[in-house]
Structures are given as C-alpha cells and as structure tokens.
Amino acid sequence: MGKAKQTRKFAQVKRIISDKDARFKAKEQEKTVAKVDQKKTDVKELPKTSSALFFNYNTQLGPPYHVLIDTNFINFSIKNKLDVIQSMMDCMYAKCIPYITDCVMAELEKLGQTYRIALRIARDPRFERLPCLHKGTYADDCLVQRITQHKCYIVATCDKDLRRRIRKIVGVPIMSVANHRFTIERMPDAYGAPKT
C-alpha cells in the first residue's frame, strides 16, 4: 500500500494588521492635530519694505539712473544693433550709468569666443564695475541680492526667469530689449514704458 497524499496548505502566512485598523486611525488623528497646532503657532514674517516705496513708487530712483546690466542684455543689444549707453538715454530721457558686476564679467568670460564682442563692450571704461564679495559666480543670484540690499538700481535683463524673480521685489524697474529698442517696466514716466 502506498503513501497517502497530503494536501498542501495555501495562504499560511503571518497575520498582518490591515491598514484600515482602528489603532492606525487613532495615531493618524494625533499626528494631524499636532500639525494643525504647529501651523497655528508658526508666525510668518514678510520682508520689510522701504518707506521710500510709498504707493509702490521708488523715490530713490532719479537721474542719473544706475542700471545693472545682465549678460544676455548685452547680447540682445548687439543682435538688435543698439548702442547700450545711447539707447538707455533714449529710453530714460536722462543720463544713465551702466554698472557691471564681477559675476556678469566672469559669465561673459566663460562664454568664450562667440561672445567676445559682448565682452569688449562690457570692458568699456564708461561702464562702472561693481566688486562682488560673495562666493560663486552665478550672476542672477548676485543681481537679485544687490537689488534687495539697495533699491537705487534699474535692472537691465532679457532673461525671463530673472525678470520673474525681480518682479517679486517691490520698487525695482526692469529694462529689456523689445521691438528693436529698450523698454522699461514699472516706470510710467519713461519713453519705453508700456502704456496702460
């Protein structure tokens, strides 16, 4: 006589507590109550705006205008065959002093031979150099940091991301190239300002 067949026992595993167990729900409720309490106690402080920005108009801006120039602004002015200083004066109807930071110069030098004309324009003695004391050579962060400290600058850039960052800072006009001339945002009395 042969061996009797034994049936295999399926699904014989350790028992696991299901996700819908009441014990888990009690712990989750405690966590959500703690998060809500933390949100109530957290106080958010907004950066203080200058008193010179009464009604969002910057009283620190006045002729001669101080214009911080970005790398791509020089490139766009070359492509549109615009003289930087003369076109700025045509846009603002006043004397403009262009400023270039060390980070922008480093960025132009890194771009190499294709941007040698832009580098030659940036080395013009009519352009004022601003030394940078921070680490790194990322020009966008440098410009944003400088305009948050001092609200006396107009920023000249054609970079969409940088313009989006600058628009969040109150009282800083933005100059850019459009329709083969310089235009300016947030300065209603300028020639190139868009009409509203």
Q: How far apart are CA 174 and CA 190, in angstroms?
A: 12
Collapsing DSSP to helix, strand or coil, 181 comes out as: strand
Q: What structural domains does the chain harbor? A: 63-185 (3.40.50.1010)
Give residue 71's pLDDT band: very low, low, confident or very high (50, 70, 90).
very high
What does the block give as tokens for 41? 């106690």
Any idea which residue has 């920005």 for tokens? 53
Tens-place pLDDT, residues 96-131: 999 999 999 999 999 989 899 999 999 999 999 999
Q: How far apart are CA 124 and CA 105, in angstroms?
A: 12
DSSP state of 46: P
150-154, 164-168, 188-192: least confidently modelled range: 188-192
Mean pLDDT of the chain: 83
Q: How far apart are CA 174 and CA 28, in angstroms?
A: 49
Give residue 18's pLDDT band: very low, low, confident or very high (50, 70, 90).
confident
Q: How far apart are CA 16 and CA 143, in angstroms?
A: 57
Give residue 188's pLDDT band: very low, low, confident or very high (50, 70, 90).
low
Mark 50-60 as b/e (b = at least 16 C-beta within 10 Å). Answer: eeeeeeeebee
Q: Cα–Cα–Cα angle for 99, 103, 108, nearest 5°?
A: 90
| Region 51-60 average pLDDT | 66
Q: How far apart are CA 155 and CA 163, in angstroms?
A: 9
Residue type, 119: L
What does the block give as tokens for 87? 């076109």
49-53, 98-102, 144-148, 163-167: least confidently modelled range: 49-53
Q: How far apart are CA 160 and CA 19, in angstroms?
A: 47
The answer to whether residue 56 scores a pLDDT higher than 60 is no
pTM of the model: 0.71
Give residue 150's pLDDT band: very low, low, confident or very high (50, 70, 90).
confident
Give residue 59's pLDDT band: very low, low, confident or very high (50, 70, 90).
confident
Q: What percent of the chain has pLDDT over 70?
A: 77
Q: How far apart are CA 146 and CA 141, in angstroms?
A: 9
What does the block give as tokens for 196? 């509203």
| Region 162-178 average pLDDT | 91
**Long-range contacts: 161-165, Cβ < 8 Å, 24+?**
162/70, 165/140
